[in-house]
Every structure is written in C-alpha cells, then in structure tokens.
Amino acid sequence: MSDYKWCHGPKCHKSHTQDRVRGVKGSKVLRTKKIKQNTYIGMFSYFCSNSCYNEFANKHAEQIIRIAPRNTPLETPIDVVKEVTRNGWDNSDYITTNIKEKTVETWD
C-alpha cells in the first residue's frame, strides 16, 4: 500500500504555490499535492488544507449528506439558570443567564 494519497480537493492543482510546481522548463504543471499517510488523522489524511476540504464538501454536499441524512432535529436537554453576580466597580448586582446541559446519569 502506498504511503501517500493525492489530495481530494477538486481545485488543489489550481493553487499557485511553489510546492505544486512539477516538470521541466517549457512543460511545467501545477500538480495535486500528495499527503503522507500515518501522519494526520481524519480529513487531513485526504485533504492538504481546509480550503481543499471545503471545496470537496461544497462540490459533493448532496452525496455527503446522503451518508447520514437528518430529517428530524437533535435536542440537548438544558436548564436555563439565572445567577446574581456582584459587579466589582459599583457593588451592584447583575443577573447573568447561563445555559447548562443536563447530564444524564448512567449506572453500569
């Protein structure tokens, strides 16, 4: 198995950077970047940059969403907690509103 993968960014070979220039004078090209494997995890094993990842995701969004479509919203149980705090400079009270996620206790 190869130790490298080609970047999957659809426009990777359009970026004007010196590290993409290959070939001899008169027949030079901008080439898709190679990504060394076993160095990065996740998307950076397949994409040389965030912009290459974003271009891929934008181009193939419909196909990507079909992997795990969401037809109903997700919900996180919360408590909205108001707390009175003392202002340092004039000693007045002010109320802050905090959102705290409810933790679901599980007992094994």
The span from the CA of 48 to the CA of 50, in Å, is: 7
Percent composition of the chain: helix, strand, coil (DSSP 3-state, to 5) = 25, 25, 50
The span from the CA of 83 to the CA of 39, in Å, is: 46
Shortest Å, Cβ 36 to Zn ion: 13
CB-nearer residue toward Zn ion: 7 or 82: 7
The span from the CA of 11 to the CA of 55, in Å, is: 7
The span from the CA of 15 to the CA of 32, in Å, is: 9
Q: If binding is defined by CB under 5 A, does position 35 make contact with Zn ion? A: no
Q: If binding is defined by CB under 5 A, does position 48 make contact with Zn ion? A: yes
Q: What is the DSSP letter of 21?
A: E
Using the contact rule CB under 5 A, the part of the chain among 19-27, 29-37, 54-62, 72-80 near Zn ion is 29-37
Shortest Å, Cβ 11 to Zn ion: 8
CB-nearer residue toward Zn ion: 24 or 41: 41
Using the contact rule CB under 5 A, the part of the chain among 11-19, 55-63, 76-84, 91-99 near Zn ion is 11-19
Binding site for Zn ion (CB under 5 A): 7, 9, 12, 33, 48, 52
